[in-house]
Structure 1
Amino acid sequence: MIYVNNENGESDGVVAVVSDVGLSSVDVIEYEDYDGETMCGFSHDAYRVLTTVKDAAEPKESDVITVLANIGAEVAELKRKNEQFEQALGWNEMGPGHIPNLRNGLSELKSVVSVLEEKYETELERMRASGDRRSPRG
């Protein structure tokens, strides 16, 4: 079992072994809680009992078939959703190479803008140095 405070729902996290169950309390094998206090029992309103899981019976062939059928249905549903997303995004119209082409085009555009910025800055500096008040040439 594990102790859980009913007021705040917090636990000390220690799993204790039940040694006896009475009318209003549960005795556990002594242990020290996080405050160093020796614990040996709890009242019925302040604990939760953890029970062991019994070994399940061997799965039947029909259980495996059901699981596989459910997985197959889920995969089919995911494929349908994927197709809907591809259609909504226009993937079939663009084709798989479209996005890399866009990235390449964007990279080229950034390169051209960078060259133009350098030319503009150079021309602006030249004009300032010569005292020319006209706008820079492009």
Structure 2
Amino acid sequence: MTKTNEKIHVLADESLGGIKREYVEVDRKAEVGDKIIVTEGDDFPVGHIDTVAHWYDNYDDGSIDLFEGFDNDIFLDGNREEYRVLEPTNIVHIDGPDGTERYEMVDRKAEVGEKVVVVDDEDSSEEFGNFRIGEVGTVESYATDDTYFGEYANVRVSDGRDIPIYLHEYRVLVPLESSEEEPQPSDPIDVIANLATRVAELERENKRIQKELGWYEVGAGSIANLRNDVADIRHDIAKLEDRIVHDYATNEDVTDFLYEEVKRLQDEIDTLHKDNRRNGEELAKIKDRIDDFQDAENDRIYNLYAITNGKRDEKMFTAEEVATLLNAMRERQ
């Protein structure tokens, strides 16, 4: 532990792969996972730094269990000891060719040439590139892929490897060169402490929201699984597009066939209508011929009847009169 200023401590942060990080002292009750520093006590020496393993919610004095403890004692009695919580800041210490330098971690897209530090390695894999939390490198370029996140940065790390990482997997390292940016033991310290407290509250709120949304239930490697799922979906979409093109071409052929078939049937219907009209005309002609033949037969019968009854020279009967005579003859029979 290196004390850089009053109420500020530089400690290795395991959540950043062991990178040294600046912490500020904050007066509040500790929670599980928090780092604390003993400020007054009987069983623990002042300045002892530890991590909270258990918090007793049935105590109002802030009693806690520690991971390492002191003299085999891990229980810190809130009535006998006093401590402060060490809140992490966004300032880290990175070893470079010119010695250790201070950087601020900023959550934004890095420019080409800027340094970044890996903060999320859940999607590290042989297929997409191996990387680990805490690795520091320089952004060489940007590229895109077909995943949900799209654009990623090509980062050259210290051992010469190139790793592809997305925006949520890194933080930009902004160098703090001016002495004015060094934390001071006066009012700015209180400002930083308040900001750190607020950040811690927001982080806890974020964890609570993520837990309610079931984010942690998804499991490690979820992004890689999502990438694979997206790739499968894109593959299925491509297959469906090919099928649509094929079906459209097939339907177009069927449409052409149906059009020709309907046209052929319509021609046949038109032909039948023409035949019907022609047959009607022929039928009318035949009917006229039958009527003419019937009239001739009636005349012949009239003449025979007249000769038979000795009335050959008399006036010929009309067709109506002959019909009446024939009916009368049938009735006499």
TM-score interval, normalised by the smaller of the two chains = 0.3 to 0.5
Give the number of the structure whose residues are more often helix, by fraction.
1
**TM-score by structure 1 length?**
0.41
**TM-score by structure 2 length?**
0.19
Give the number of the structure whose residues are more often strand, by fraction.
2
Say which structure, 1 or 2, has more relative contact order (CA 8 Å, 6+ apart). Answer: 1
- Tell which structure's C-alpha radius of gyration is larger: 2
